[in-house]
Amino acid sequence: MRYWLFKSEPDAFSIDDLASRPDQCEHWDGIRNYQARNFLRDEVKRGDRVFFYHSSCKHVGIVGLAEVVKEGYADHTQFDPESAYFDPKSDPSNPRWYMVDIKLLRKYERMLTLSDIKAMPDILDLGVVKKGHRLSIMPVSQHDTAILLSALQARNP
DNA sequence: GCCAACGTTGGC
DNA sequence: GCCAACGTTGGC
């Protein structure tokens, strides 16, 4: 089981939005970056865990934990001309964009902010603290996962 | 396949 | 809203 970090802009989709969904499940659509797509299509597996991260907002950081409940399948918004994510070049018989379904495991009332993470000396290779890393889907190493979980647990006993 | 122009991301 | 650091596009 691997850990991932998924970024979301809370104005578009927040941890509270996920919490209010039926079964607290939702599909993760709208990823339009090839590297992130490759993760969703090939590497994110059922049972993997996801750090839910709020970006482009006042309080940036990890706000929850989720579990992957459905592995990569075609993102339907690419075929919807009404959608902002419509991709006219994507062939339905060979979809270009993928998504997964996630289910909320817990929301952290006390979040772990980006500045908190940056101040943690033992974090090794978390993409979100590396300059210029803009991927919205990224793997988290076992090493960094343990540190993040421990810090989140300490804040949210 | 190169690479300049352009668009996007995302923290600040 | 700024702007650095990317990724994508498209002419050649």
DSSP secondary structure letters along A106-121: EEEEEEEEHHHHHT-T
Q: Assign 3-class secondary structure to A8-76.
A: ECCCCCCHHHHHHCHHHEEECCCCCCHHHHHHHHHHCCCCCEEEEEECCCCCCEEEEEEEEEEEEEECH
pLDDT at A72 exceeding the cut of 90 = yes
Average of per-residue pLDDT across A56-72:
95
Q: What type of residue sits at position A38?
A: N
> What is the dotted CATH code of the domain comprising A3-155?
3.10.590.10
Q: Which of chain C's bases lie under 7 Å from a protein CB?
A: 5-8
Strands A25-27 and A61-74: unpaired
Q: What type of residue sits at position A8?
A: S
Binned at pLDDT 50, 70 and 90, residue A134 comes out as confident
Residue A42's pLDDT is what?
Answer: 94
Burial (CB count <10 Å: 0-12, 13-18, 19+), residue A34: exposed
**CA separation for the pair A59, A114 (Å, rounded):** 8
Q: Which residue has the tokens 């919490």?
A: A19
Q: In angstroms, how far is B10 C1' from A137 CA?
A: 14
pLDDT at A125 exceeding the cut of 90 = no
pLDDT at A132 exceeding the cut of 90 = no
Q: What is the pLDDT of residues A89-106, one digit of tens each?
A: 888 888 999 999 999 999
Identify the residue with better confidence: A110 or A82: A110
Strand B at less than 7 A from CB of A120: no
Binned at pLDDT 50, 70 and 90, residue A111 comes out as very high
pLDDT at A32 exceeding the cut of 90 = yes
Average of per-residue pLDDT across A142-146:
94
Strand C at less than 7 A from CB of A24: no
